[in-house]
């Protein structure tokens, strides 16, 4: 006997791919993790369900499923992120955030926490023009969720209390006696720790502007972090750097 189940789901669409002739397979990030569904005829321009298959869209949908396949039956778009999509730089920042979500989904102990974090950062991106800063704060704070939160309290080498110089390879700050030519200076280390510790509700335009002013060196740090500890480089972030260079 095949049981048909109806499910109501809220979440952020993070991917879609071709499925059979004119359908789409969509991946949505929900507070419980990833969920796939098929949008029948979703590739057709006049499909009413097509808006519920677009990347970077926040939706509430109803799917029906048999054992193997979830099929979209109805739904509404709750947020289209038009303010992000109409600005190439903001769009790339948002896609970079989504990319982190996709790549590290299995590393998150608390998926709901990361899900809410992603939605809140997208809301910040909507309002600010400091898109570099928004993305940098996201990837810095995400280090905690992927289990690589930097240690700023004691020297990563000798354990002393005056640790002011970030060393990415060691995963935190070192003291004056232990610093090497790969350590970052005190000012940059301070900014990086501010990004790591700031509460989302305290992120305002002044803070975003401050981070934006140092975005090149701060991206060097976050890039080095993910490359060193995960052998991973975020493609959309690199593309954003390429494109924003020309402007």
Catalog residues that contact Zn ion under the rule CB under 5 A. Answer: 155, 157-158, 160, 175, 178
Supply the minimum distance, in Å, between the C-beta of residue 176 and Zn ion.
Answer: 8
Q: Which residues contact 70 (CB under 8 A, 6 or more apart)?
A: 7, 35, 36, 37, 38, 63, 64
Supply the minimum distance, in Å, between the C-beta of residue 174 and Zn ion.
Answer: 5
Taking each helix axis from N to C terminus, what angle separates 111-127 and 88-104, rounded to the nearest 10 degrees? 170
Supply the minimum distance, in Å, between the C-beta of residue 182 and Zn ion.
Answer: 14
Supply the minimum distance, in Å, between the C-beta of residue 197 and Zn ion.
Answer: 21
Nearest to Zn ion of 65, 154 (CB atom): 154
Supply the minimum distance, in Å, between the C-beta of residue 51 and Zn ion.
Answer: 55
For the stretch 4-34, what's the b/e string if a residue is b when 16 or more beta carbons lie within 10 angstroms of its beta carbon? eeeeebebbbbbbeebeeebbbbbbbeeeeb
Nearest to Zn ion of 52, 155 (CB atom): 155
The answer to whether the CB of 115 falls within 8 A of the CB of 31 is yes
Supply the minimum distance, in Å, between the C-beta of residue 217 and Zn ion.
Answer: 23
Nearest to Zn ion of 178, 240 (CB atom): 178
Nearest to Zn ion of 85, 157 (CB atom): 157
Taking each helix axis from N to C terminus, what angle separates 205-213 and 131-145, rounded to the nearest 10 degrees? 90
Residue 82 CA, distance from chain mean position: 18
Enter the tokens of residue 201: 């509700």
- Enumerate the β-bridge partners of residue 21: none
Nearest to Zn ion of 145, 173 (CB atom): 173
Residue 166 φ/ψ region, left for φ over 0, alpha for ψ in the -120 to 50 degree band, beta for the rest: beta
Element (H, E) at 151: none
Cα 99 from Cα 121, distance rounded (Å): 14
Nearest to Zn ion of 69, 158 (CB atom): 158
């Amino acid at each position: 006997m095949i049981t048909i189940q109806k499910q109501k789901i809220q979440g952020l669409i993070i991917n879609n791919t071709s499925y059979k002739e004119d359908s789409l397979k969509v991946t949505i990030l929900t507070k419980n993790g990833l969920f796939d569904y098929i949008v029948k005829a979703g590739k057709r321009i006049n499909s009413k369900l097509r808006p519920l298959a677009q990347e970077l869209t926040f939706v509430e949908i109803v799917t029906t499923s048999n054992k193997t396949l979830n099929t979209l039956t109805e739904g509404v778009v709750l947020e289209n992120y038009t303010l992000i999509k109409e600005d190439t730089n903001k769009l790339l920042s948002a896609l970079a955030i989504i990319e982190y979500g996709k790549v590290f989904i299995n590393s998150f102990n608390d998926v709901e926490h990361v899900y809410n974090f992603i939605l809140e950062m997208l809301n910040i991106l909507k309002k600010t023009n400091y898109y570099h800063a928004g993305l940098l704060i996201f990837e810095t704070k995400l280090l905690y969720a992927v289990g690589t939160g930097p240690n700023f309290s004691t020297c990563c080498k000798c354990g002393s209390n005056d640790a002011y110089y970030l060393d990415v390879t060691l995963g935190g700050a070192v003291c004056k006696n232990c610093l090497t030519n790969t350590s970052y200076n005190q000012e940059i280390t301070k900014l990086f720790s501010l990004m790591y510790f700031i509460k989302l509700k305290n992120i305002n335009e002044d803070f975003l502007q401050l981070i934006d002013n140092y975005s090149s060196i701060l991206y060097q740090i976050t890039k080095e972090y993910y490359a060193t500890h995960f052998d991973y480089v975020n493609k959309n972030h690199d593309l954003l750097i390429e494109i924003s260079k020309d402007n």
